[in-house]
Amino acid sequence: MRIVGIDCGTERTGFGIIDSDGRSHDFITAGVIRTKTSQALSLRLKQIADELEKLIAKYAPQAVAVEEVFYSVNVKSALKLAHVRGVALLQAAQAGLTVAEYSALEVKMSVVGYGRAEKSQVQMMVQSLLRITTEFPSFDASDALAVAICHGTRGVLR
């Protein structure tokens, strides 16, 4: 199954695409959709939507996995993040794809085996699981791949 993992953010939205049979995962591509903080939120959301639409069209996934919104103190940031998640969910729905949502704890447990793992630990395990020898330019892409791996291993159980 081809899976797109998305790590939502208004400045940087990470994406990662893998093929998975539930036990083995193969790396297809990963990257970051970057937006300009000087632009209005509506234009940034449109850019993210357009780029996700292109990715879905190009790589023809069967599923999309997105991390659930997490917030502790900054509610304003959580609301902006929710807008980006809404865009990602809408693009998946318009493409007729199955959508799965996972908490950060579920993603980290699935990939690292420890729910409070640091981003560097997640990135290292993603590289190991996908047999990637180069470093990622950002945690956004490796976090998105972690969400995809989580769905690859847990999605068959849902």
Give the residue numbers annotated as catalytic, written as ranges: 7, 67, 140
SS3 content of the chain, % helix, strand, coil (to 5): 50, 20, 30
Rounded Cα distance between 87 and 90, Å, is 5
Give CA angle at 135 (134, 136), nearest 5°: 120
Question: Which residues have C-beta within 8 Å of that of residue 67, sequence separation ≥ 6?
Answer: 6, 7, 8, 101, 102, 103, 104, 107, 143, 147
First-to-final CA distance of the chain: 14
Rounded Cα distance between 15 and 143, Å, is 8
Structure tokens at 67: 């991390």
